[in-house]
Amino acid sequence: KAGVTQTPRYLIKTRGQQVTLSCSPISGHRSVSWYQQTPGQGLQFLFEYFSETQRNKGNFPGRFSGRQFSNSRSEMNVSTLELGDSALYLCASSLVPSGALNEQFFGPGTRLTVL
């Protein structure tokens, strides 16, 4: 079956703009988590959605938000972009949030560059 898909794969924005990234989980998966990967920081957890509800949130400012739709697709939005928001944004899907952590599958990511 198809894996986790993320669109767009690459994005260039300027400071102050806002951006929306999309993630389609594996068919049947209902939980989506978002991570930010920056050099030297590894992957940092942003938030997790399940059944259209945010279940968990990492330590990021309110400029970062997300939502999940009834078909389990998820979007994340970053408003008032800053240079430091340049990163690879990864989403991961799993059947349910309480499932085994090794059953979390990652998408290829969206590379965001803020100029």
Partner 1 sequence: DQQVKQNSPSLSVQEGRISILNCDYTNSMFDYFLWYKKYPAEGPTFLISISSIKDKNEDGRFTVFLNKSAKHLSLHIVPSQPGDSAVYFCAASAGGSARQLTFGSGTQLTVLP
* Least gap, CB of 42 to partner 1 (angstroms): 4
* Least gap, CB of 111 to partner 1 (angstroms): 9
Contact footprint for partner 1 (CB under 8 A): 4, 33, 35, 40-45, 48, 55-56, 58, 90, 92, 97-98, 101-109
Would you say 48 or 85 has its CB closer to partner 1? 48
Please list, in sequence order, all residues whose beta carbon lies within 8 angstroms of the beta carbon of residue 13, skipping any fewer than 6 positions away: 19, 81, 112, 113, 114, 115
* Least gap, CB of 90 to partner 1 (angstroms): 6
* Least gap, CB of 64 to partner 1 (angstroms): 15
* Encoded tokens for 100: 């085994």
Residue-by-residue DSSP string for 28-69: T--EEEEEEEETTTEEEEEEEEETTEEEEE-S--TTEEEEE-
The Cα–Cα gap between 11 and 9 comes to 7
Would you say 42 or 84 has its CB closer to partner 1? 42
